[in-house]
Structure formats: C-alpha cells, structure tokens
Amino acid sequence: MANEKVMPVIGPGIPNGPGNRYRINEKIRNTKVTIKRFIKYLGDQKKTMMFTFLLCLITTIVSIIGTRMNGESVDNFIIKGDMAGLYNICLILTAMYLASAVTTYFQNRFMVSIAQRTSSDIRRDLYRSLQMLPLKYFDTHSSGDLMSRLTNDVDNINMTLSQSITQFFSGVINIAGMLIAMVLLSPVLTLVGLTTTPFMYLLTKFIVKRTQPFFIKQQKELGVLNGYIEERISGQKAITLFGQEEQVKKDFEKINKKLTKSAIFAQAFSGIGPVNNAINNLTYLIITVCGAYFILAGMDLTIGMVFTFLLYMRNFTRPINELMNIFNSIQSALAGVERVFEVMDEPKEKDSERAKKVSNL
Amino acid sequence: MFKLLRYLREEAAICAVIAPLMMILEVSMDLIQPKLMADIIDIGIANQDISYVILIGEEMILAAFIGLIGGIGNSIFCAIAAMKMGEKLRQGLFDKIQTLAFLEIDKFKTSSLITRLTNDISQVQNMVLMVLRGAFRSPLVCLGGIIMAIALCPELSLVFLVAVPMIVIALIIILKKSFPLFTALQEKMDRINTVMRESILGVRVIKAFTIEERQAERFGKANFDLMNKGVEAQNMNMILWPIVTLVMNMSVIAVLWVGGNMASHGTIAIGKVMAFVNYLIQIMSSLIMMVMLVLNFSRAKASADRINEVLHTLPSIQDNDSSGGMKGFDIELKNVFFKYNEHSENVLTDISLKIKEGEKVGIIGATGSGKSSLVNLIPRLYDATEGQVLIGGIDVKKIKLKELRENIGLIMQDNIIFSGTIEDNLKFGNCNADRVSIDCAVRDAQAYEFIMEKENKYQSLVEQRGKNFSGGQKQRISIARSLIKKPKILIMDDSSSALDMATEAKLQSAIKARMVNCTVVIIAQRISGVMDADKIIVLDNGKISAVGTHKELLRNSEIYRKIAVFQLGEEVLLIG
C-alpha cells in the first residue's frame, strides 16, 4: 500500500476522512488541559466509548489471529491432509469473522453517534457563548473566522472522533501485535527491520518541517480568497448596481491564481507517501539481503521464516504510516478544539452587579 | 460529478494524464521488488552466491529509487492537475454567480453560495487529487490480482463469481441510499450556516431586540437536525466496511476449504493454494481502498451536485438580442405586481405610477409596505412578476443592462462597502472619476469632513464590510459613491437614516442643488425627508394608497396625516 494517502487538504474544507488530511502541524498551547476539558464533553458517553474500544480490540485481535490461522491451517492441516482439522479450523474462522463483522459494525455506529452528539454539544455551547459576547468582540474579529470555528473546526472534531480515534487505537494494537509476532519469529531480523523505522520518522519530520512554509502560505492565501468571496457575494447587490461584474471577476481571477500557485507548491512537495514507500522497499531489501546473509552464514533461519517475516513487516509498517497521518489529523482537530474553547472563554457581556430591572418605560 | 470534468482542461488535463503514468511507474517498481527478492532466495541462497545477492540488492535499490521518482512525479502532477482544475471550477462558479439575478441568488441564499464556492469546491478538488493519486492503483491491483488468480487456478476462481457481485451489489445499494442522505446533510449544514451568519452579522439587531432566546432556539433546532442527519448518513456508509471485509474473509475460508480438499486429492499444489490466498488478500485490501474512495466520493458527489445546480441555473435577467439603448428617463409603472417567489404573497399589487424626468419624488409607508421592492424593479434587481416597468417609454426588459444601471444610482438601505481604500470604494462605479468630481461628490454627500480627518484621507483603509466605519459614515461613503456615477435617476432607499437631522438636511439641499435636471426618488422613514418633494407616494401594504404633495396628502390621506402628526406634532395640520 504505497501512497493511498492523499495528504494535503486544501483547508478549511471539510476533511475527507482518515489519511486524507495533512495540515500544518498546528501548535497546541496546552494539550493536556484541552484534552481533559474535551473529555468532559464526552460525559456519559465515556462508557460507550470504553465499550467501543473493547469492540475495537476484539476486531483487531481477530484480524491478527485470523491471518496467523490462515497460515497455520496450511502448515498443520492441508500439508498433512487432515481434513477434519481443516473443517474445524474453517468453522472457527467463520465464527470469528462473523463476530468481527458485527463488532466492526457496532464499533463504527457507536463512534458515529458519539462523534455527532459531542460535536453537536460543542456547537451548541459555542453558539450560546457567542451570543453572550460583547459587541466589541464582533467588531474586532472577522465573521469569517468565527464562522470557520463554528463549522470547520467543529466538523473536524466530528470526523476525527468518528474515524481517526478507532483507527488510531486499532493501529496501535496492530503494531504491537505484529511486533510481538516478529520478535517471536526472529529477534535478529526484528532488530534489522527496525533500523529503518527511526530513519523514516526523522525523514518525515524533516519533510514536514520543510514543507510547512508552503502550507502556511497556502492557508494565508486561502484566507484572502475566502474573505473576498464572503465579502463580494454578500455585497452582490452593490456589484450589480454598479455594473462591476466584469471587474470583480478579474480581481477574483488574480486571487484565485495566486492561491493555486501556492497550493500546488504545498501539495506537490509534501509527498511523504512516495518517500515512505521507498523506505519501506528499502526495509524489505535490507531484510531480504540480511536474511540471505544469515542463512548463508549458517544461522538458525529458514527461507520460509524470512518470507513470513516479510509479511509481518508489511503489516507492521502499514499502520505506522497510517498512524502518522492519523496523528496529524488528531492534532489538527485538537487545535480546533482549542480554538473553540478560546471563544467560549472570552469574557462575557453581563449586567453589572448594581444593574436594576427597568420598571418604568 | 463527471460533468465537472470539463474543467479539467489545458495543463490540468495534461497533468491528469501524466500523473497516473507516473503512478504506474511507481507501482511496477513496487511489483518488481518481490520478484527480485525471490531471485535472491531462489538463486542467491540456493547457490550460496553472496556476490549475486549483493548484485540483486543493488538492483532493488535502483528499483526503489526509480519508484521514488515515479511517486514524487505523481505527487507533483496530481497537485497541478487538481489545483488547476479547482481554480477553473472556482472561477467558473464565481463568474456564474456574477450573472445570476437576485431571484436566483435569493433562492440559493447567499450563505449557501459562499459554502459552495469554498467548501464544496475543496471537496471536489480533494476528490480529484485522491482519484489521481490512488484510484488508478486499486482497480489495477484488483484486476491484476484476479487475472493472476484465474491463471493460477480457474476452479478456485469461481469464488470471485460469488464474492465480486455481492460486493458490487452492496456497494450500489448503499451508495444509492447514501447520496440523497449526504445531499440532505449538506442542506442541514447550509441551514446552520445561515442561522449562524444571521447571528454574527446581525448581532446588533439581535441584541437590540433581545431575541437571543429565539435565535438560540432556531440554532438548537438546526443543530439537532444536523446531528440526526449526520448520524443517518454516516451510519449508512459504515455498513459497507463490515460487509466488504466479511465477504472477502469468507472467500478466503472457502478457498482454504476447497483448496485444502483439492490438495488432499492431489489436484492442486499446496503452494498454489497459498499463492491464491495471497492474491485474495491483496485484492481485498485494494477493494477496501476502493470502498474508502467511494465513501469519500459520496461526499464529493453531494458537493459536485450543489456546484452543478448553480452552474446550470439560467440567469433570469440578462441582455438579449432585442436589448437596446435608452431614449429618455421618464419612469412609468403599469399595473405592476411583484412577489419574491412563486409561493410567497404579492409584495406589490397593481402599482401604476408615472415619474417625469427631473421630478423629485418621495415614497413613504410602513415597514413592509413594499417601498424597497418597488424601487428595486427600476434598475432590474428584480423583474416585475406581472405588468411593465418603462423608462423613457421603453420596457426595462428591452434596455441594455449596463446602460440601464449606469444611468440609475440606487443607494441601498444596507450600505455595502468593500475592503480596500476609501478611494477604491468611491471609484467603484466610475473608475475614471477625477479628483475634482470626487471631491465635489464627497462634499455633497457630507462625507468630506470625516474623510479628511482620517490620517490617510482618501487612502484610508476600509476593512471587510467596512466595519471600521460607523453606520453613518458608511452611508455617506455609499451616497458619494453613487453620486460619482453621475446617474440620471438617483434613488435613495432610506439611505440617510443613520445621519442626524442637521446633516440629513444639509445632504438634502446639496442633492437638490446637484441633481437639478435629474430624477430623484427618496424613500424615507422620516416625513421631513420627503416633505418638499414634487410628489409623494404613500404605500400601504403593497398598494398605492395616495399620491400628492405634502399639503394635498395632509388633507386627503389618512395614513399620511397620521404619520405626519406622529412625527411632526399636531401643529403640522395648522401650518398645512
């Protein structure tokens, strides 16, 4: 699975689900506090969430064990011609997969409802606090920015909750499971295979750092464009009355072209996908060559083991790549959460303590 | 969705062709790796040939490097194709909106048009990016896998005959159900955006009338609807996951069982069963990728539909072959009826009136009596539903729009000024205006003083929606802006309401002096604003209730007399 991940998303659009988001690594000022406060929003849904994690655990473990059992059934039953044993293992597998389909379904359903309910609560509270803000706040803050917090940020939270969280969870379990399987099979090859992992991490960080300015530029120009759209479309009557349609089209074209230019740069050079893919291929190469060397050197290793190990490695690196993406989207969702809380925390307009009721008009 | 592909043109189209080619380069390099690996094991290890192992290792590095180039190339060309297409599409949509009449704009709602220009375009753009980067890969792997599997063992391949149709049918059924759900979801999204925009932009009104509770209730309802639709739409798509995985897992079991039995009878080699299972797993993961893509597709499809809806709207007001020039500036309305859409009630009922060139006319009436709707018909912001609007004896529908609007200066109630400098705003209707005429218009609009008090004078910056100016300042800038146009017909739709009495009086006499030979129509809340007009039209509930001079109306019109007494006091009757 090389680059199924379409990384950058022209923000502030609605994110497209897992793995498709790649935003600027937004700085979160106080991760712990934000998370804690956010968890409060889950309220009594925390139990449902725990249950969902349990379902997720089952699903993931079934898929790990299932893969393993496929192989075992070949080794232990088909090769030996034990049809009764094969029959039994097929029955067990069927039961397991049926169960995992059910758990997957409910796990997704629960997460969708948790996500929708939480984001709807947040949206409601945000709107309420918005209503209580003093007029001055509206004069000093752009309406587009406020709208974007209420729509994009909250929607981002929704998407992340409904998809990324369970993926993150099952990704971690998968990685741990595969790591255990690899160590059990061959500790030496595991060590060899893991040498590229930190390298991959560092390279990813390097690329993200290098491409960030492009993203910032893109975000900025997107802001300009959205501002222009917002203002001109709302002021369409004036444009029509003054017959300025053509001029406005031309101005828009300029801004539009500028955005495209920086967006292309931002999107094109953020290709972590191909780089990861190349590193993965190198990892397989290192394992194969080292495996071959170890076998030739007379170590306790068989060709079959190297093959199986390569399979495990594939299942190990895939979720790592995904996790990096998911981590980005969780981070950007958290930044959104923080922006939302920021508005909620603005000092509210309230009557002074000595304010009296107007009794006589 | 596919209709939008016509925006994939010029360099975007070229890049859209190159990108998958680069992808194929990357994929084929990926596919070479296992073969080279097998060579290392089968030949290198079998022959105990370390130098061969290293040689093949070098080849693998080369393949990885070529693959990297393919991958990066794909990334670059995809970005160019998707972004260029997005740009063209955005421009197309924006240009289209510029041609729409307000009948259509009202139908779509401004906030929805903005969402379509921003979010919906991004959705489509992302979809293109995703398709170019990933979509070619999955079907390729899927198809290749199936072909390899059939070649390997036709008997076992029968499993595809069962599995593939099942997945396809499930996919079609669920997509059919989820498309309308996602469209509905977008509508709910629009709804919430509308309430929010109202609340943010209209915060002053809401606070002034303390209708926060009512707004909160509306928001609460929209929010609740959005949540429910969201759950419904997402749940529908979530069914796909377990179905696809279950079908594929069952296929694997079937292959194990049948293949195992065949192997025990010696009709198939065990290695082939293993290879077959491997292909199945490969096919499964590419199928899951395709499902992911399809899920995103239903979102993008909803967006594409919303964009297409705008693109396919025919503007109700535009020039046609019979449009000609103007031949005079007398305004005449003949039995005009008007309503904002088919389902609403008439806002104007059977209006007939004449305004001669050079006349000064006032229009007065309660809120909602149809004053603004009436004057909006003159520069064709809207067209009369029935009846005719004539200028100089020609139906406005037969006058070139540009010429019509150049000659009419309508100053609206909600004064819209744009970000830029004050000068940009003043020159909005006449970019060739010279300093002298600008100065003169600005003085007449009573805006000279406050502009000169600004540090940068005409070059002072105006923020978005002119929020760094007061209501009165904005009104005066928009009045000046219309005066600079030098219109033959000036219509002021309650456009000096934020000025104090003294300034308003100065403004009125300046306009009177300036517009000597021109028609001036003034809509006012205050009777003092229309008292000296040649003719005053009293509107009541969409109908003309009375027409006459101030003195005549005091005698003849009950409504006018009431307003006059209320605003000017009993003594007005004595003087009149």
Task: Give A9 to chain B, closest Cα distance, Å.
Answer: 7
Q: Distance, in angstroms, between A150 CA and closest chain B CA?
A: 8
Q: Is residue B209 part of a domain?
A: no
Q: Is B235 on the interface with A (CB under 8 A)?
A: yes
> Which helix H or strand E contains B472, and what residues bound it?
helix B471-484
Cα of B505 to nearest chain A Cα, Å: 25
Report pLDDT for A247: 86
B410/A295 Cβ within 8 A: no
Element (H, E) at B133: none
Of B72, B99, B126, the last residue of a domain is: B99
> Could you report how far apart the first and last alpha carbons of chain A are, in Å?
73
| Interchain contact, B381 vs A239, CB within 8 Å | no
What is d(CA B221, CA B200) in angstroms, rounded to the nearest whole number?
A: 18
Whether B236 is covered by a domain: the verdict is no
- How far apart CA B461 and CA B478 sit, in angstroms, is 15
Beta carbons of B273 and A257 less than 8 Å apart: no
One domain for residues A253 and A284: yes
pLDDT digits 0-9 by tens, B274-325: 777 777 777 777 777 777 777 677 777 778 888 888 888 888 888 887 777 8
How far is Cα A242 from Cα A180, in angstroms, rounded to an integer?
72
Query: Are residues A126 and A33 located together in one domain of the fold?
Result: yes
* Cβ neighbours around B224 below 10 Å, total: 13
CATH label of the domain that carries residue B396: 3.40.50.300
Contact A243 B401 (CB under 8 A): yes
CA–CA distance, B531 with B334 (Å, rounded to integer): 26
Under-50 pLDDT residues of chain B: 576
For residue B427, being part of any structural domain is answered with no
Buried b (16+ CB within 10 A) or exposed e, B343-379: eeebbbbebebebeeebbbbbbbeeebbbbbbbbbbb
Tens-place pLDDT, residues B58-102: 888 888 889 888 888 888 888 888 888 888 999 989 988 888 888
Give the per-residue pLDDT at A95: 92
Backbone dihedral angles phi then psi of residue B409, each to the nearest 5 degrees = -110, 105
Do A57 and A170 lie in one domain? The reply is yes
- The ipTM estimated for the assembled molecules is 0.77
**Nearest-by-CA chain B residue for A267:** B79
Which tens digit of pLDDT belongs to each residue from A181-205? Answer: 888 888 888 888 888 778 777 877 7
* Residue among B65, B74, B87 minimizing CB distance to A257: B87
- Assess whether A341 and A294 both reside in one domain: no
Do A38 and A173 lie in a common domain? Answer: yes
Instruction: Check whether residue A34 and residue A165 sit in a common domain.
Output: yes
Report the alpha-carbon angle B60-B62-B63, nearest 5: 65
Task: Determine, yes or no, domain membership for A17.
Answer: no
Q: Is B184 on the interface with A (CB under 8 A)?
A: no
Choose among A155, A2, A246: nearest CA to B138: A2
* Residue of chain A whose Cα is closest to the Cα of B282: A1
CB contact under 8 A, A143 and B239: no
Read off φ and ψ for residue B336, nearest 5 degrees. Answer: -85, 130
Q: Where are the beta strands (DSSP E) in B15-59?
A: none
Distance CA A309, CA A305 (A): 6
Q: In chain A, how many domains are there?
A: 2
In total, how many domains does chain B have?
2
Determine whether the interchain pair A274/B26 forms a contact, defined as Cβ–Cβ distance below 8 Å. Answer: yes
Domain that holds residue B33: 1-99
Residue A260 structural domain: 187-300
Q: Which of B99, B132, B151 is the last residue of a domain?
A: B99
CATH number for A141: 1.20.1560.10
B160 HSE (CA, 13 A, CB side): 21
Q: Does B273 touch chain A (CB under 8 A)?
A: yes
Cβ–Cβ contact B234 with A under 8 A: yes
Inter-chain residue contact B98 with A238, CB threshold 8 Å: no
pLDDT less than 50: residues of chain A: 1-25
